[in-house]
Amino acid sequence: MTQEYATRYPLLLVPGLLGFVRVLIYPYWFGVVKPLERGGARVFPVMVSGVNSTEIRGEQLLLVIEQVMRDTGASKVNLIGHSQGALTVRYVAARRPDLVASVTSVAGPNHGSELADFLERRFPAGTPGGRVVNAIIGLMDWLIRIFETGYRGPRLPTDITASHQSLTTTGVALFNRRYPQGLPATWGGDGEELVDGVRYYSWSGILTPGRTNRGLNLIDGSNIVCRLFARTFIKERGQCDGMVGRFSSRLGKVIGDDFPLDHFDSVNQMIGLVGKGARPVQLFLEHAARLKAAGL
């Protein structure tokens, strides 16, 4: 086993909305963990509430971090969050920077999601349409919890309304006022890389005609879903991954915000079915090497 990805501190992978560690035999971070481990990294895919507010998920993550630190003897951790997981790790780093070496946002809605805004406008809470959307999300969350095999902790609470509000541009704006660490001072810019001793990084993708709708994505239904969702975007129309806008995702040192990746491709989630030229696992490996080189 090599040591090229042997970071000083463990890597904790934090999922987004409707996230999981493993459903039956299928992992959330498909094909990501093993290559990192073969390179010497200590990697922990973690579980927080699949559907809840960012703050509740963050408090759950703090308990996980403390347990990982006890188990490994590490004094800090590197946090990598996908989608809402990016907001979750930001919350933890803002509350307890002494426990966090780095925060990495992967396709994180750091200024909110226009898809969440569309759903709020089109299917308001309390309306028949809103109840249907909530029922679908609730059913998906229930099925994931029933078939989750990678998590063995206590049952985690669900709050669909709080989760949705945490992802709208209005909800994230409130969150950002409380926890601004790493945010760009101007729209589309880079944020501070080092804040309170924590290094901040981000990367994300955009739907790229001729690339994200080619390759193995030709047989990936989730890519079609992302392309449909992309039609709800206004401010970042043509500059999103189907769920998160390119500039909305930016945080700290931006590794890239235009990789040919849809929202699921960012974590190689759909059994490795990605678009033409996409290499999402390589992004994680390169980042682990980057963290190691930074002494993290």
Residues with active-site annotation: 83, 241, 263
Residue in 3, 14, 130 with CA at minimum distance from that of residue 80: 14
Is 175:53 a contact under the CB 8 Å cutoff?
Answer: no
CA dist., res. 99 & res. 45, Å (int): 17
Determine the 3-state secondary structure of 106 from DSSP.
strand
CA dist., res. 203 & res. 214, Å (int): 21
Determine the 3-state secondary structure of 256 from DSSP.
strand
Residue in 240, 258, 250, 247 with CA at minimum distance from that of residue 192: 250
208 φ, ψ (degrees, to nearest 5): -120, 105
Give the dihedral of Cα atoms 49, 53, 58, 63; nearest 10 deg.
-40
Token duo for residue 139: 């059913």
Determine the 3-state secondary structure of 261 from DSSP.
coil
Is 250:190 a contact under the CB 8 Å cutoff?
Answer: yes
Contacts of 188 (CB under 8 A, 6+ apart): 247, 250
Alpha helix positions (H), 148-254: 160-167, 169-178, 221-229
The residue count of the chain comes to 296
